[in-house]
Chains A and B, each alone.
Chain A
Amino acid sequence: DADVTQTPRNRITKTGKRIMLECSQTKGHDRMYWYRQDPGLGLRLIYYSFDVKDINKGEISDGYSVSRQAQAKFSLSLESAIPNQTALYFCATADRDEQFFGPGTRLTVL
């Protein structure tokens, strides 16, 4: 089984809809991250969490929220999706400075 899993893997939604992307890990890491990937821009940090009670905004947090339900679970929500949030979203965990990535969720907002 994969160490970092993301659900769903693909999602198409409409403008204005609320959507949640989920991430689970079995690596036992305290640190978890959400990134979005856009062509030519690399990965940009949305939110990160050092433990269940410690959540921090990244460089592009506007329009997103997160919930750290447990050490193993970190969810990303789009309260009211808009087309420019169409992207590939990655969850990652970290041990010291190395990051371990999930397979990604491809989100399309129409």
Chain B
Amino acid sequence: AQSVTQLGSHVSVSEGALVLLRCNYSSSVPPYLFWYVQYPNQGLQLLLKYTSAATLVKGINGFEAEFKKSETSFHLTKPSAHMSDAAEYFCAPTGGFKTIFGAGTRLFVKA
């Protein structure tokens, strides 16, 4: 069975600093991997997805993630944080038409 761990329920960075949100998954078969973002008072929306085409995946708003099979990781990064990046981020391995959502990491961006 798939499971997913997001390290850190809260991450705080200064505006302009590197953003790193960690995700590790466990599965006997590499799944599809997604990152979703939830802005305040909104539903989740797709940030980026890995579907085995390339290990480095670029998403919206300057975010990217690298799939590392040997580490079973899919960490999300952004070189320079912006105030508008403040949101909750969910890592979501997907397989068999079902998605397992991580507990989420709330990103705070300080001016």
Q: How many residues of A contact B (CB 8 A)?
A: 21
Closest-by-CB residue of B relative to A41 is B103
| B78 close to A (CB within 8 Å) | no
Does more than half of chain A's interface fall in helix, strand or loop, or is it mixed? strand
Q: How many residues of B contact A (CB 8 A)?
A: 21
A42 near B103 with CB under 8 A, answer yes
A99 vs B49: C-alpha distance when bound (angstroms): 11
A98 vs B92: C-alpha distance when bound (angstroms): 10
Q: Which of A45, A48, A98, A104 contacts B34, CB < 8 Å?
A: A98
Pick the most buried of A42, A44, A98, A104: most chain B CB atoms within 10 A of its CB.
Answer: A42
B79-97 vs A: 1/0 string, CB under 8 Å? 0000000000010001001
A98 vs B102: C-alpha distance when bound (angstroms): 16
B46 near A98 with CB under 8 A, answer yes
| B26 close to A (CB within 8 Å) | no
CB within 8 Å: A-B pair count: 49
B90 near A90 with CB under 8 A, answer no
A102 vs B103: C-alpha distance when bound (angstroms): 19
B43 near A48 with CB under 8 A, answer no
Q: Which residues of B contact A43 (CB under 8 A)?
A: 44, 90, 101
Q: Which residues of A contact B51 (CB under 8 A)?
A: 97
Shortest beta-carbon distance from B87 to chain A in Å: 14
12 contacts between A and B (CB under 8 A): A31-B97, A41-B103, A43-B90, A43-B101, A45-B99, A90-B44, A92-B43, A94-B97, A97-B51, A97-B99, A99-B44, A101-B43
